[in-house]
A and B are shown apart, each in its own frame.
Chain A
């Protein structure tokens, strides 16, 4: 008997194997992949890599410049900046993944409904997506978080909401393309429920481009979270996050510039890695999204 396929296997199959290999032949794609891989390893093995606990306060060693004891120096509470950056990679990776997953789930539900229902209903959904897109994302997030207080849950919901319209539009457009196909009509003819048609027949065929868009969005969300944390509205202390470290560094920029420099380098490492990899993914897997060649 044939193994039951789930959506994700199907999607991965639709990405041709040889195309996947092409990403790693593309030197920029490979570089992006290595940057991401190293980051993931750092996040997983943080307790082994970090020489100190990220939250150990040592006032007698506050604002020490980089030395053999503290490679990246210490912050205003004497905490080891290197260890904090190492642990910060955990937040930097998990928050964007959760955020984008939430955005995609929201987009799948609303995008499928918008694409599958009548033109009038579909158009009102489009207007809803446009309204949400017309909010300046950062100002919007700043306001809501200032009202609710910053915690990770709110952060993920808010950023997810600001990101989802782009995916939802993509899913709607793909659904419109697919819904007139013979297999959907056939499924209808044998009496499949709307939910089953959407989940089993439409979704697997529309979700591919979303993954590429999502990969390209990861650096955007990493930046967004860091920017909010920089403003004191993102990841709440004492959780180590890159944005918060850069924020502290900014306050002491004249006497302790190492926090800004190393915090900045780590942030660029992540955004550059995901940008390079995302673009290689787009260029090699989806020629339709490739406009810049």
Chain B
């Protein structure tokens, strides 16, 4: 087991390092000089040269790369070129909002998806099961950004139940929760369908186990069998899937934030792209890659605890 953990840890480290280097190379080789981009078309050659020197753009590429890696290792992601704020400060201020959004939608999705899937499995092949199945696949098919726009239209513009924009007043938890409901639900929609399906399959598989037959032969009612016995075992694959999918959920959170004008990593990077503030884009992406890799690492490790077979993969 320890060998497996170390190996996964090493692979994660190499992955993150590789990703950072690739990111660096991409930004190096793309058309457009960062200094010119920052200063705009009217800058004089002298000013451009000065800024290039300040950004170490006049040094050899490998020196730039080493400096880049060294700075990241120190936690320095560079300085934003418009307001001269440290990028790490901006990114780590935005990050909790994004994580909160992603975690809330997982909660919503589990809260609806798990009972839905259990219900469908308990009444397998009934009309209700078929409707749940169709509903699940429809929810999976609706892109989360579209769900966001449509939720905004119905619940905020037409019905005026929820606020359309922002993350709520600072320090006011009720207001922040109120602002969280729509974005989190729209992000959760696809996951409700996904979790419901996995839960259904997992409950059905668990119900073929011997202990379930024993419980039934004791004369327990079907629902009681499910709640007292089946559910515990059936939840394990769902938890594993949530872990693996959490990274993807962060990706979806990006566009949801933009739609609802919420603070977060997605909005930060998007606005930085619009204003061509590349250090923020770069720093934000590095943190996103890092987070994504760490979450996948944890998901893999927890999965291997549950199902030791994957260790020999």
Bitwise, A250-289 to B at CB < 8 A (1) or not (0) is 1001100100110010011001100110010000000000
Q: Digit string of B163-180 for contact with A (CB within 8 Å is 1, else 0)?
A: 000000000000000000
For the complex, is A176 an interface residue (Cβ under 8 Å from B)? no
CB proximity to A under 8 Å, residues B1-57: 11, 14-16, 18-19, 22, 26-27, 30-32
Nearest residue, chain B, Cβ from A233: B273
A interface residues (Cβ-Cβ under 8 A, vs B)? 28, 127-128, 130-132, 134-140, 142-144, 146-148, 219, 223, 226-227, 230-231, 233, 246, 249-250, 253-254, 257, 260-261, 264, 267-268, 271-272, 275-276, 279, 291-293
B289 touches A137 (CB 8 A): no
Contacts of A143 in B (CB 8 A): 269, 273, 281, 285
Instruction: Add 4 more A-B contacts to A127-B11, A139-B284 (CB < 8 A).
Output: A219-B141, A249-B149, A250-B149, A276-B137
User: What's the Cα separation between A143 and B266 when bound, in Å?
Assistant: 11
Q: List 9 A-B contacts (CB under 8 A).
A: A127-B14, A130-B15, A131-B14, A134-B289, A134-B296, A253-B149, A260-B149, A267-B146, A268-B138
Interface size class of B (residues with CB under 8 A): 35 or more
Q: Which B residues are CB-close (under 8 A) to A271? A: 141-143
Chain B residues near A292: list those with CB within 8 A. 197-198, 201
Name B255's contact: one of A132, A148, A231, A253 (CB within 8 Å). A231
Known: A143-B273, A267-B146. A136 touches B250 (CB 8 A): yes
A276–B142 alpha-carbon span in the complex (Å): 12
Stretch at the interface among B84-92, B150-158, B218-226: B150-158
B112 contacts the other chain (CB 8 A)? no
| A138:B19 contact, CB within 8 angstroms | no
Complex: A148 Cα to B134 Cα, angstroms: 41
- Chain A residues with CB below 8 A from B201, complex form: 291-293
A268 touches B30 (CB 8 A): no
In the complex, the answer to whether A131 meets B19 with C-beta atoms within 8 Å is yes
Nearest residue, chain B, Cβ from A145: B273
- Report yes or no: A246 in contact with B292, Cβ–Cβ below 8 A: no
Contact A268 B141 (CB under 8 A): yes
Q: In whole angstroms, how far apart are the Cα atoms of A135 and B141 in the complex?
A: 23
CB atoms of B149 and A254 under 8 A apart: no
Residues of A within 8 A of B273 (CB): 142-143, 146, 233
**B258 adjacent to A254 (CB under 8 Å):** no
B251 with A136: CB separation less than 8 A: yes
Q: Which 9 A-B pairs have the closest CB atoms?
A: A131-B18, A223-B143, A146-B273, A272-B141, A271-B141, A275-B141, A147-B30, A136-B251, A292-B201
Flag if A272 contacts B137 (CB, 8 Å): yes
B302 within 8 A of A: no
CB–CB A148/B31 < 8 A: yes
Most chain B CB atoms below 10 A, which of A143, A144, A257: A143
A147 touches B143 (CB 8 A): no
Instruction: Evaluate contact between A264 and B289: CB separation under 8 angstroms.
Output: no
Are B293 and A134 closer than 8 Å at their CB atoms? yes
Query: Which residue of chain B has the shortest Cβ distance to A220 in the bound complex?
Result: B143
Task: Give Cα distance in the complex from A165 to B45, angstroms.
Answer: 43
**Residue of B31, B198, B254 with most partner-chain A CB within 10 A:** B254
> Are the CB atoms of A144 and B26 closer together than 8 Å?
yes
Chain B residues with CB under 8 Å of A139's CB are 251, 254, 266, 269, 284-285, 288
Q: How far is the CB of B301 from chain A (nearest CB, A)?
A: 15
The answer to the question of B69 belonging to the interface, with a C-beta cut-off of 8 Å to chain A, is no
Residue B239 CB within 8 A of the other chain: no
Contact mask for chain B residues 121-150; partner A; CB cutoff 8 A; 1 contact, 0 none: 000000000000010011011110110011
Report yes or no: B258 in contact with A231, Cβ–Cβ below 8 A. Answer: yes
Q: Which residues of A contact B255 (CB under 8 A)?
A: 138, 227, 230-231
Closest beta carbon of chain B to A289's beta carbon, Å: 14
Point out the residues of chain B lying under 8 angstroms from A261, CB to CB: 150, 153
Within 8 A of A (CB), among B188-219: 197-198, 201
**B276 CB → nearest A CB, Å:** 8
Q: Is B259 an interface residue (CB 8 A)?
A: yes
B298 within 8 A of A: no
CA distance A276 to B133 in the complex (A): 11
Does B162 touch A at the CB level, under 8 Å? no
Question: B145 contacts which chain A residues (CB < 8 A)?
Answer: 223, 226-227, 230
Q: Is the CB of A144 within 8 A of B30?
A: yes
Inter-subunit contact A136/B254 (CB<8 Å): yes
Given A264-B146, A264-B150, A267-B146, A127 and B251 contact (CB-CB distance below 8 Å): no
Are A264 and B141 in contact, CB atoms less than 8 angstroms apart?
no
Q: Does B270 belong to the interface (CB within 8 Å)?
A: yes
Question: A residues within 8 A CB of B293?
Answer: 134
Q: Which residues of A contact B14 (CB under 8 A)?
A: 127, 131
- How distant is the Cα of A134 from the Cα of B296 in the complex, in angstroms? 9
Bitwise interface map of B from 72 to 107 toward A, beta carbon under 8 Å scored 1, else 0: 000000000000000000000000000000000000
Closest to A292 in B: B201
- In whole angstroms, how far apart are the Cα atoms of A124 and B152 in the complex? 46
Q: How far is the CB of A262 from the nearest CB of chain B, in Å?
A: 12
